[in-house]
Structures are given as C-alpha cells and as structure tokens.
Amino acid sequence: MTRIFSLAIAALTAAAVLAPAARADDVRGAGSTFAYPIIWKWSQAFREKTGQTVSYQSVGSSAGVNAIKDRTADFGASDKPLQPAELAKLGLGQFPIVFGGVVPVLNVDGIGPGQMKFTGALLADIFLGKITNWNDPAIKAVNPDLTFPDAKIAVVHRSDGSGTTFNWVSYLSKASPEWKQRVGEGNAVDWPVGSGARGNEGVATDVKRIKNSIGYVEFTYVVQVKLTYGLVQNRAGKFIAPSAASFQAAAASFDWTKADDFAVIINDSPAEDAYPIAASTFVLMYKDPKAAGASRAAFDFWKFSLGEGEKYASQLGYVPLPPALVEQVKAYWARTFKGGA
C-alpha cells in the first residue's frame, strides 16, 4: 500500500471537526475523498515552498460542505457543485480544481484490469440487486470472451455522504430509468443491496479484501491500490478505459464559460472518446473570507495549486484544469471574493 493511500486512511479516521491551525495564516480544509491524494500532494509542496500548513480532512463531500457552512474550515471540497442560488444564499463562491473519474472496481479471480466491460444498464442492475451472480447471462452477454465464477456478487458502496457517490448514481440515473425511479441521485442514497464503507479509501480497501466484490472509486485509488477496473460504455457506444485523456475529453466537451459559478456536471458526455463517469472537484469558500474568520493564505494555496502545482495532478492520474479554464477561475476570484484577485 502506498504512502498516499496510507495517509488517506489515516485522514479518514481523524475527527471530522478540524482542530485550530497552528498559525493564523495556516489553512484548514475538509471534504472530498475523491480529491484527497492531490490536495495532500499540493499541501506538501506548498508547505515546502512557503512554510505554511494546509490541513485537510478527507471526510467526504457532504461533510466538506457542512464544514464550510459551519465555518470550521477555510474551504470545503465537494465533487457535487452547489447551485448558484444556494451559493448566493450562503455567501459562498465555488470553483473547480481538478478533473478525474469514478471507476467500477472488482475482485474476481481470472479477471484482470481493463478486461471486463460494463454498460450503464448492467452496472445499474448489479447495484439494484437484480443481477446477483457473476455468471449471470446479462454479464456474459457483454463479456462473451471472459470466464466468470458461479459466485454471488458482493456489492460495496459508500456509507458516507459522498460526491463520488453523487457522480456514480447521477450516471446510473441517466443510464437506467429503473435506477432513476427506485433510487435516484444524491450524495447519499438508499442502497438496495450491498455493504457500506467510508470514503474512497474504505471502498478500495474492502474491494481489495473481499473476493467476488464490486465497488466504485476515484481513479487515483485504482492506481495507488492496484485494483482491477472495468471499462464503461459511453453515450457514443464505445467501451472506454479510465485515463487522463478520456477524463479530459469529457471535461472539454462542456462549455464552462456559460455556467454560473462553474456548476457543471461532466458525466455522460456525448464526446466519442470521453469516459462516461468523469467528475470534477469544486472548492467552496466564503466571498468575504476574512469576515468568515478564514485564512487569507487559502487563496495563496489555490493560486499555487492551479499554477505550478498542476504538474502533480497529472502525476497522480487526475486531469489539471486547462490554461483557459484556470484564467476563467482567476477572473472569477477577482470578481467574487474580497481580496481574491
């Protein structure tokens, strides 16, 4: 297990309420486990450069939104964007920091990474509990060249409020009318089957441990933990592997200039080479950080992260924001946040 993943698990077990920062200009954040590996890397590089500490609690998107609402953090990180009306009501601004993807992962003997194919309908039926065995004819129909065991499918899902879950079930709602009607969307849903695990870290650990299991995690955890992943059929009918290129194709297919407060959901892209369950992480901050008791150094951290720090995103399997979108974010900072220029 890599150092990053071990640190993610340590962070997950920490208290959701943040302790006071050691210095007045240190930065406190909380939220997305999807983005934890890159925020951790950015925080290490930022500290080496400036001496300032960024403490981040990997507690899930819902907890991150609550942390910023409760003013126990300088920023919250969520993989589900808040809508402009809610942001205005709360006095918050929002901007994207990185792109990635939510990936089906499995632990089945004889099935290697990238070998198994999933349609959206097939994934929905598995997570609905309609398909319960790995040698089900519906699975064989999509994967005629693979051999599956006569074994029950162990479904693993998130137990906490999660932007990763939001992007997963948002895609399933688009792919399956039955899923949309029975389960729907949200950071947390009433799962028809399966066992819950906390954070991307918890799901990755359980799938790695439990034979004949299936779950979903952010792609970086696939790389770090060496999980077996599946291909997912996109709207163009192609089975797409998760990769920086396929995430980038999804992100580039949406017009960010027309979205107020960057409230864009990038899954189910129509682009031919787009991975269908692509996702973004968004940062939430108060428009007047000083009045909210937040550290001014938070902007310095994000300027660093979306500047020279972007190289680390690529190293970890994320897609950094393209230069034009970074400039759009900077312009948004200047007009939205007091002292944010």
138 and 239 both lie in a single domain: yes
Which of the pair, 10 or 188, is modelled with greater confidence? Answer: 188
Q: Which long-range contacts (CB under 8 A, 24 or more apart) does 3-7 make?
A: 4/37, 4/40, 4/41, 4/224, 4/316, 5/37, 5/201, 5/204, 5/221, 5/224, 5/225, 7/40
How confident is residue 290, by pLDDT bands cut at 50, 70 and 90?
confident
pLDDT at 140 over 70: yes
Which of the pair, 4 or 134, is modelled with greater confidence? Answer: 134
106 and 248 both lie in a single domain: yes
Domain boundary among 205, 234, 252: 252
237 and 200 both lie in a single domain: yes
Domain boundary among 233, 252, 271: 252
208 and 109 both lie in a single domain: yes
128 and 210 both lie in a single domain: yes
The pLDDT score that the predictor gives to residue 207 is 98
- Does residue 271 lie within any of the structural domains? no
Indicate the DSSP class of residue 19.
P
Q: What is the arithmetic mean of pLDDT over 302-320?
A: 94
291 and 310 both lie in a single domain: yes
What is the model's pTM? 0.89
pLDDT at 22 over 80: no
The pLDDT score that the predictor gives to residue 11 is 39
- Does residue 246 lie within any of the structural domains? yes
Strands (E), the chain: 27-31, 54-58, 75-78, 92-107, 117-118, 154-158, 195-197, 213-218, 228-229, 231-233, 239-240, 278-286
Strand partners, 282: 78, 96
Q: How far apart are CA 76 and CA 71, in angstroms?
A: 10
- Does residue 266 lie within any of the structural domains? no
77 and 118 both lie in a single domain: no
246 and 132 both lie in a single domain: yes
Q: Residues of the chain with pLDDT > 90: what percent?
A: 86
pLDDT at 264 over 90: yes
- Does residue 147 lie within any of the structural domains? yes
Query: Which position has the token pair 């939001």?
Result: 166
The domain that holds 223 is classified in CATH as 3.40.190.10
Q: How far apart are CA 188 and CA 63, in angstroms?
A: 12
166 and 68 both lie in a single domain: no
Q: Residues of the chain with pLDDT > 70: what percent?
A: 90
Which of the pair, 48 or 17, is modelled with greater confidence? Answer: 48
pLDDT tens-digit series, residues 103-114: 999 999 999 999
Q: What is the arithmetic mean of pLDDT over 212-231?
A: 96
- Does residue 243 lie within any of the structural domains? yes
The pLDDT score that the predictor gives to residue 54 is 95
How confident is residue 52, by pLDDT bands cut at 50, 70 and 90?
very high
Q: How far apart are CA 12 and CA 16, in angstroms?
A: 8
The pLDDT score that the predictor gives to residue 296 is 76
Q: Which two tokens stand for residue 317?
A: 């399997």
pLDDT at 73 over 60: yes
Indicate the average pLDDT of the chain.
Answer: 91
159 and 86 both lie in a single domain: no
How confident is residue 117, by pLDDT bands cut at 50, 70 and 90?
very high
Q: Structurally, how many domains does the chain consist of?
A: 2
- Does residue 201 lie within any of the structural domains? yes
Burial of 338 (0-12, 13-18, 19+ CB in 10 A): exposed
Q: What is the arithmetic mean of pLDDT over 231-238?
A: 97
111 and 231 both lie in a single domain: yes
91 and 133 both lie in a single domain: no
**Residue 300: domain span:** 3-99+281-336
